[in-house]
Structure 1
Amino acid sequence: MKIIIFITVLALPAAALAEAPRFSLPIACALGQDCAIQNYVDTDPGPQWKDYRCGAMSYDGHDGTDFRIADLEMMRAGVPVLAAADGMVLRVRDGMADGVYRQGSNTIPDNAACGNGVIIDHGGGWTTQYCHLRKNSLAVRPDEPVKRGSLLGLVGQSGRAQVPHVHFEVAVNGKSVDPFTADGNREATIPACGTTHAGLWRDDVARALPYRAPLVLNTGFAAGSIAMEDIETRARTIARLLPDTPALVFYGRAIGTSEGDTQRITITAPDGSVFASHTTDPEPRPRAQAMAFTGRKRPASGWQDGVYTARYRIIRDRAVIAERTESITLGE
């Protein structure tokens, strides 16, 4: 969805534009481990969409970069949203509930799509916007100066947000731009859609933001079947295998899968035998997120002593392009 900025940004003449700021990460998390970029700016000017690397990690009209955290439990624990550069707070909004849009509500107006958020003026016509913050988490006020890395609030799911994330949007002279292209031009792509470039990010941040699609976001063990909501809440996740555990299931969730990708899960028993294995059908189209799980009931002879190891893989053209491995041990 296109995020509607909740403040009128005054347009400045081109001569007044200062050199673009170089931005730091707007979120405090471990990229590639417990958070990831879910969507990039849509660089396609027409009704279709593509990200700056000509991939499908966006949607039509998307104006920002979405930094998604692993699940709702991580949101409840608190993940800081940080100022990406020095500046002055222009506007804030707080008090909107989290999770309303995910629950199917279509009553959120366009001018509140951002949910709880902050806009920062960086001078020279440059602004950044931070959307979907957690209710009552904002730590700044209008007209307050902030430094790079200052706490703005916490990642939430307010406004039109299907998953907990922060929507980070860069604008110059009132026009949104793509921080991953050389100069922010939304319709400019990296040469051949294949090389890396710092764009508007600081060099150290650019190195920490390699383009990853797909990426494994969640894996875990459970004692029964798993749905997408169970992954979000961790309600069915187990950390230990007990003698009376009725079944052993392993699940995985990935973001940014493409047409033709398959998900494969294998659980290996302590004696090296395959306890359970499953491969999904090829994806019929690109998907924002995909999940799979497999497992078996407790054998009649009981669980083997030792370590069960599970591996979740994304397969493309017969090659593993993303994976994660976890283990669980039988114990009292």
Structure 2
Amino acid sequence: MPVDCDLGDTCYIQNYMDRDAGPGSRDFTCSGLSYDTHKGTDFALPSLAAMDRGVDVLAAAKGVVRGVRDGMIDKAYTRAEDARIDGRDCGNGLVLQHDDGWETQYCHMKQGSVRVRSGQVIEAGTVLGQIGLSGRTQFPHLHISVRHNGQPVDPFTPDARADTCRSGEARTMWIDDIAYEPGGIVSAGFADQVPSYDTIKAGTAGIDALSSDAQAIVLWGFAYGGQQADVMELEITGPQGRVFQTRQQVKKDQAQFFRAGGKRLKSPLPAGTYTGIVTLERKGRIVSQKTVEIPLR
């Protein structure tokens, strides 16, 4: 693992390498967790707050540092940022040269976090820096590329034929057990009003408790890898049973999205613990689910 986090809990894989030779995109399972010409794997964080707390980037293998960049600011990319980025799409990062023509590249690291220098010999697992938001990116993540003799290699299916998915032997370059997830719930929480998307991505949308005079109780879920016709179900239960339930359909494929729902309170709810269950369904099957609780005093 090139990041010090728990997949499915404190981080997730947003994009895999694109295996489609044409203008479309598909990952190594022939699903849609990629985008056109993407040449690496994106290990993403659930929020800007998680990035601010700090998540280490680790050397995936022993190697020698060949080229380092640091000093670019952490800021979500927009077209207005092209002049500032000026071709430095990778942002802060570095390249590690390994034996036999192999190399790995680490991108979008946090400003000021890179700990290594060119020419330095690095052991596997060495902390290289931290995940950031530098370069051409709109969410905090580490993009890691694997190359052999200059050609990109998918570490999940390294011996697969070019421009194919679901080919090659059932093996992987990863030592760690990295299971494929087709999408999922990144985070969930309660609020007393429908939160903005910006606060959800920032990690500041949730509240720790509801007061007895709250005007509403709202449950929200933030997800990735959404496909057309997916359904996100939001359900709130309390001391006297179900308070609210909704099922909201995803209208089109979306790399990231959120849904929210709740109930305006004309009279106070009973004090106690309220439970929210956020479920992502695809073709009638549960893809991912998160449960959150909040006290009402």
Could you state the TM-score of these two structures normalised by the residue count of structure 1?
Answer: 0.85
2:278 is equivalent to residue 309 of structure 1:
no
Gapped regions of structure 1 (runs ≥ 5): 1-24
The secondary structure found in structure 2 opposite 1:314 is: strand
Counterpart position of 2:81? 105
Instruction: Supply the distance in 1 between the matched residues of 2:32 and 2:264 (Cα, whole angstroms).
Output: 38
Instruction: Supply the distance in 2 between the matched residues of 1:31 and 1:298 (Cα, whole angstroms).
Output: 37
Counterpart position of 1:298? 265
Return the match for 2:209 from 220, 240, 243.
Answer: 240
What does 1:89-128 correspond to in 2, within 5 Å? 89-101=65-77, 105-109=81-85, 111-128=87-104
Instruction: Supply the distance in 2 between the matched residues of 1:314 and 1:181 (Cα, whole angstroms).
Output: 27
Alignment coverage as a number of residue pairs: 297
The secondary structure found in structure 1 opposite 2:292 is: strand
2:186 is equivalent to residue 213 of structure 1:
no
Bigger shift: residues 44-53 or 243-252: 243-252
Residue-by-residue CA offset, 1:172-228 (whole Å, 9 max, x unaligned): 111111111142655343349xxx9332111xx1x2x21111211011111211122
The secondary structure found in structure 2 opposite 1:232 is: helix
Instruction: Supply the distance in 1 between the matched residues of 2:15 and 2:24 (Cα, whole angstroms).
Output: 14
The secondary structure found in structure 2 opposite 1:189 is: coil
2:118 is equivalent to residue 142 of structure 1:
yes
Structure 1 position 256, deviation (Å): 0.7
What does 1:176-325 correspond to in 2, within 5 Å? 176-183=152-159, 186-191=162-167, 197-202=170-175, 205=176, 207=177, 209-272=178-241, 274-281=242-249, 283-300=250-267, 302-325=268-291
Gapped regions of structure 2 (runs ≥ 5): none
Alpha-carbon distance change, 139 to 185 in structure 1, aligned in 2, over 3 angstroms: farther
Counterpart residue type for residue 291 of structure 1: F
RMSD over aligned CA atoms reads 1.8
Counterpart residue type for residue 275 of structure 1: V
Check conservation: 1:262, 1:280, Cα contact below 8 A.
Answer: yes
Instruction: Supply the distance in 1 between the matched residues of 2:160 and 2:92 (Cα, whole angstroms).
Output: 25
Structure 1 position 100, deviation (Å): 4.3
The secondary structure found in structure 2 opposite 1:158 is: coil
Counterpart residue type for residue 82 of structure 1: L
Counterpart position of 1:70? 46
Structure 1 position 230, deviation (Å): 1.1
Residue-by-residue CA offset, 1:152-176 (whole Å, 9 max, x unaligned): 0000000001100000000111111
Counterpart residue type for residue 246 of structure 2: H
> What is the percent sequence identity of the aligned residues?
36
The secondary structure found in structure 1 opposite 2:49 is: helix
